[in-house]
Amino acid sequence: MKANPTDKGVEIILQTPQGTQLQVTNRSAGSNFIADISGGQLRLASGEAFTFRSEKPLAGITEIIVTNIDANTVRVTVGCFSAPRL
């Protein structure tokens, strides 16, 4: 998982073992951008699940949280100081 600043905000990159294309559904809720990604799971090299969290990683971003929400879906939540632009 990588977060890169861009001219328009932030780019979140999740890597898959075979470069598989995943299905993304996104929305905003208050000052959060939320993306649910079907067809994937966060796993350590050991196979254990985990949650990624970074506070104030970039200007304008309060936090980024990436977590498994069920057996086949990863949720990326980006907290912003103001309402996100989709």
- Is 41:68 a contact under the CB 8 Å cutoff? yes
Residue 6 has what pLDDT? Answer: 83
Residue 53 DSSP one-character state: E
Surface-to-core class of residue 75, CB atoms within 10 Å of its CB (0-12 exposed, 13-18 middle, 19+ buried): middle
User: What is the chain's pLDDT, residue by residue, as a tens digit (86 residues)?
Assistant: 788 888 877 888 887 777 778 899 999 999 999 999 998 888 887 878 788 898 988 888 899 999 999 989 999 999 987 766 65
